[in-house]
Chains A and B, each alone.
Chain A
Amino acid sequence: MNERSAAGGPGAGARPATGTQAGAATGAEAGAAPGAAPRGEHGAGMWVLRWVLGGLGAAALGAGLWLLLHDEGAETARQTLTWLAALWAVHDLLFVPLVLAAGLVLRRLPGRRALRGGLLVCGSALLVALPPLLRPGAPRNPTVLSLDYPRNLALLAAAVALATAAAALLPAPRRVRRGGDGARRRAGRAATAPGGGEEPGQGRAGAPGER
């Protein structure tokens, strides 16, 4: 296990671990105004790319703020910022903490990876179904929101539950395939398929304990 994953903490992967990485990380910090000379790890190309992207980005950001503040006026801008802040608060202070709490429970369950995948699919589908489900009032005409959304969401959830159960209970074929991938990546095609079966096994056993 390398130093980064051993750290395991927030943003562990981004923590400068070596000299060159530390240098590059400083470069990243300088990125808001990437005026520093081209640095070691990435050459002049990277320096030019960052300047061009940063310039374009600042211009577009300025244009957007101008459109909002100048063209639409103070009242619209204020309302927009209010909605933006409210949505941010709902996401960062409510939604993500709930997801993290769910993750705490999830990690203790068997088949947690398949479960996480299933929850991701179901949760995304629920989010996309919320506007049709919650919209007040009747649709403008029968061709708008014409589907039976509660029924369809239940159908989808049932299908995802089946697929999740299958993925959790039938790990063998996947394990062989992943092993094959790992073996190919590791040994550069020298080892033919079955040898690499250990890697995902390690991942499965190792990952929960690691935290």
Chain B
Amino acid sequence: MNGNANGNPGGEANAHGEASGERAPAEREPAAGSISAASRPARPEGAAPALVRRAPVPPLPRFRGPLHDARTATAVGRWLGLAMAVCFLTGLVSHELQSPQGWLAPHLPSRPVSGYRLTQGLHVASGIAAIPLLLVKLWTVYPRLFAWPPARSVRHALERLSIGALVGSALLELFLGLVNIAQWYPWPFPFVPVHWALAWVLIGSLLLHVAVKAPDIARHWRRDRTGADAQAAERRSLLRGVGAAVGTLTLVTAGQSFGPLRPLTLLAPRRPDGRAQGVPVNRTAAEAGVLDVAAESWRLHVAGPRPFELSLAELRALPQYTARLPIACVEGWSVSAEWTGVRLRDLVERAGAPAASFLRVVSLQRHGGYRVMEMGPHYASDPATLLALRLNGAELSPDHGYPARIIAPNRPGVWQTKWVARIEVLR
């Protein structure tokens, strides 16, 4: 135990509000707060040698609010844990669908039709819901930041380091996601790989945290019924407030992907409305550098065992199919629309290949990524996968990929290639 070598003056001014001048004895419970060592004591160099072995207790704030306790941390933390678990798992799905890796790539399913719409809508919604939960959770455990001594042992130091990784990665991960969906990228590093790497840091340090705290969590999972808990009413009121915040955020943002909530959409980056044929756009024709596609000279090239070319008029003369499919963006918004065009499997079979083939689709776009798209056999053979010529009853606008675009079920929006020029059967 630390002697109070500082002679801690009473009534220290303190920025943390809930502080008092009294010096709490060093905390004995495992620290659950946050990374940094608390502020160092402002001692002149060459402090008395006798004190070297007993670190003086610096003037630390003291917290007396009733809700900086383990029960509140558990009650908020389990909802936060749930939100983070949903966010992580849906993020895994999105990562695989956005950049198919290895052995899974040929098996990516085209059904359910709205699978990606659901998982990515959940990803963004759970991330937004996690914002008030994270902030309240960190407020609850904030006093642990000032645990003294900063590290009692190597093990304790490691635990605090992992808490640091957890707090830092959670804050940065939610910040990156929230700012990214507003299409604002103020950071110098690439978004996707850093968001991906931090997700693993976050979920790893979260699992470690749960492992460390499991007995505490179990003990505080249920309300303490043994005695009158004077904090209970206060805690319920806080939890109602957090619930109201999560509910309100969801109501005013989830309409960007969940149609019934659309009228309540106040703060989402997108609200699908009448504009742009009822479907929002990310990359416009001008951005992609394909403003000048002439219907007369445009040809669709299909490469396979029996390669062929079609003009736009010839494409329109083929059997046309209509499918109601969603465009679902990685940014979380999505909207269903009616697409009309030629089934991709018909084109592939006409080229002498089985419908269930690997395809490569090349766009006319000159700028930006995703010019070349590859598609697994489940997508290619799905009767709902179209080379679409029309959207919601009208010809595709240039921003939606005139003269022809791909629309496939259960795929991220970036792979719904616009301004298609060429389809190749790979194998």
Count: A-B pairs, CB below 8 Å: 365
| Chain B, residue nearest A59 (CB) | B204
Contact (A97, B16) CB under 8 Å given A11-B69, A145-B269: yes
Asked if A32 contacts B183 (CB within 8 A), the reply is: no
* Per-residue contact bits, chain B 184-227, to A (CB 8 Å; 1 contact, 0 not): 10011110011011111111111111111111101110011111
Asked if B69 contacts A67 (CB within 8 A), the reply is: no
Distance A59 CA – B139 CA, assembled complex (angstroms): 28
- A92 contact from B34, B210, B218, B238, Cβ within 8 A: B34
Residues of B within 8 A of A32 (CB): 155-156, 158-159, 162, 208, 212
Distance A135 CA – B181 CA, assembled complex (angstroms): 11
Distance A134 CA – B179 CA, assembled complex (angstroms): 10
Interface centre among A25, A62, A136 (most CB of B within 10 A): A25
Contact (A156, B266) CB under 8 Å given A24-B215, A117-B240: yes
| Residue B234 CB within 8 A of the other chain | yes
Rounded to whole Å, the gap between the CB of A173 and the closest CB of chain B is: 14
| Residue B290 CB within 8 A of the other chain | no
Asked if B242 contacts A96 (CB within 8 A), the reply is: no
Within 8 A of A (CB), among B16-40: 16-18, 24, 27-30, 32, 34-36
| Residue A140 CB within 8 A of the other chain | yes
Asked if B266 contacts A5 (CB within 8 A), the reply is: no
Residues of A within 8 A of B209 (CB): 57
Residues of B within 8 A of A203 (CB): 230, 232-234
Asked if B171 contacts A104 (CB within 8 A), the reply is: no
| Residue A87 CB within 8 A of the other chain | yes
Within 8 A of B (CB), among A131-152: 131-132, 134-136, 139-147, 149, 152
Distance A91 CA – B270 CA, assembled complex (angstroms): 28
- B18 contact from A54, A104, A116, A207, Cβ within 8 A: A104
Residues of B within 8 A of A60 (CB): 200-201, 203-204, 207
Q: How many A residues, CB 8 Å from partner?
A: 108
Contact (A124, B132) CB under 8 Å given A97-B16, A143-B281, A203-B234: yes
Residues of A within 8 A of B242 (CB): 120
| Residue A127 CB within 8 A of the other chain | yes
Distance A52 CA – B141 CA, assembled complex (angstroms): 25
Residues of B within 8 A of A202 (CB): 230, 233
Residues of B within 8 A of A65 (CB): 197, 201
Asked if B266 contacts A152 (CB within 8 A), the reply is: yes
Residues of A within 8 A of B64 (CB): 8-10, 211
| Residue A129 CB within 8 A of the other chain | yes
Interface centre among A46, A120, A155, A178 (most CB of B within 10 A): A120
Interface residues of A (CB under 8 A from B): 1-2, 4-5, 8-16, 21, 24-25, 27-34, 39, 41-42, 46, 49-51, 53-54, 56-65, 67-68, 71-72, 76, 79-80, 83-85, 87-88, 91-92, 95-97, 99-101, 103-104, 113, 116-118, 120-121, 123-125, 127-129, 131-132, 134-136, 139-147, 149, 152-153, 155-156, 160, 178, 185, 199-200, 202-204, 206-207, 210-211
Interface residues of B (CB under 8 A from A): 15-18, 24, 27-30, 32, 34-36, 62-66, 68-72, 128, 131-132, 135-136, 138-139, 141-146, 155-156, 158-159, 162, 164-165, 167-169, 171-172, 175, 178-179, 181-184, 187-190, 193-194, 196-216, 218-220, 223-234, 236-238, 240-242, 244-246, 248-249, 252-253, 265-271, 273, 275-276, 280-284, 287, 399
Among all A-B residue pairs, the 8 with the closest Cβ atoms: A203-B233, A61-B204, A13-B69, A57-B207, A64-B200, A60-B204, A10-B143, A117-B241
